[in-house]
Amino acid sequence: MEDQQTTLPSEDSGLNFEKVWAMFRETDRKFQEQMRESDRKFQETREQMRESDRKLREQMRETDRRIGELGNRFGELAEHLVAPSIKEKFNALHYTFDKVSQDIDISDEWDRYSGAEIDLLLENGDIAIAVEVKAKPQYKDVDRHCERMEVLRRWADRHNDKRKFLGAIAGAILPKEVRSYTLKNGFYVIEQTGDTVRIDVPDGFKPREW
């Protein structure tokens, strides 16, 4: 029976603990480097996103400001277009207005509101019509004019003004839905047409009185 000899692997013939541990440490080092690099890039990306968001917000605020200024200019232009002929237009509807005023401030210390600013006010001894002028009226403008009319009525009562107050919304561009909403709230609708205006009075319309 031949002798069986066991041949042990030499240190250079394969892996040993030191080599495995060294490989593990190198792998861990590279992994940590990759993690740090990924975290650095993530932080840079987050800062870039924050900066982009800040710039976007600034641009939006500036855009809103410019739109607001443009809207005010359109509103002022529309007001000047409405004022010259508005008295004649209403008098053609059998009113007898003899006075038209612009930019009227209605306020006193007794009102819990800050008061009301009226773009145009047509007056005679019995009736006054407060006109709100917008380039493109919206639902909220109709609602605010209702509040404005309430302020005007309280102010008039405190000053023993017994006249009836009516309201109107004037616009250069008036969407169909807003026109209907305006009429529903009892306001006259005044629309720009060319270099003049017309008053929309549909059949059955009855203006609300305050």
What torsion do the CA atoms of 116, 165, 100, 187 make, to the nearest 10 degrees? 90
Of the pLDDT bands very low, low, confident and very high (cuts 50, 70, 90), residue 108 is low
Q: pLDDT value at position 79?
A: 60
Write out pLDDT tens, residues 5-41. 545 445 555 667 677 777 777 887 888 888 888 888 8
Residue 89 lies in a domain: yes
Q: Enter the tokens of residue 45.
A: 């990306």
Q: What is the CATH number of the domain that holds 94?
A: 3.40.1350.10
Residue 56 lies in a domain: no
CB atoms within 10 A of CB 13: 9
Residue 44 lies in a domain: no
Residue 17 lies in a domain: no
Residue 134 lies in a domain: yes
Q: Enter the tokens of residue 17.
A: 């603990």
141: buried, middle or exposed (CB in 10 Å: 19+, 13-18, 0-12)?
A: middle
Task: Identify which of 162, 160, 84 has the alpha carbon closest to the alpha carbon of residue 122.
Answer: 84
Residue 28 lies in a domain: no
Residue 52 lies in a domain: no
How many domains are there within the chain?
1
E strand or H helix at 170? strand 164-171
Question: C-alpha distances in angstroms, 179 versus 4, 90, 98, 112?
Answer: 109, 18, 27, 30
- Structural domain containing residue 112: 82-200
pTM: 0.64
Measured CA to CA, the distance from residue 200 to residue 119 in angstroms comes to 19
Write out pLDDT tens, residues 62-81. 766 665 555 555 556 556 67
Q: Are 107 and 155 in contact (CB under 8 A)?
A: yes
Write out pLDDT tens, residues 169-208. 998 888 999 999 999 999 999 998 877 789 989 999 999 9
DSSP code of 9? Answer: P
Q: Enter the tokens of residue 13.
A: 């013939």
Residue 207 lies in a domain: no
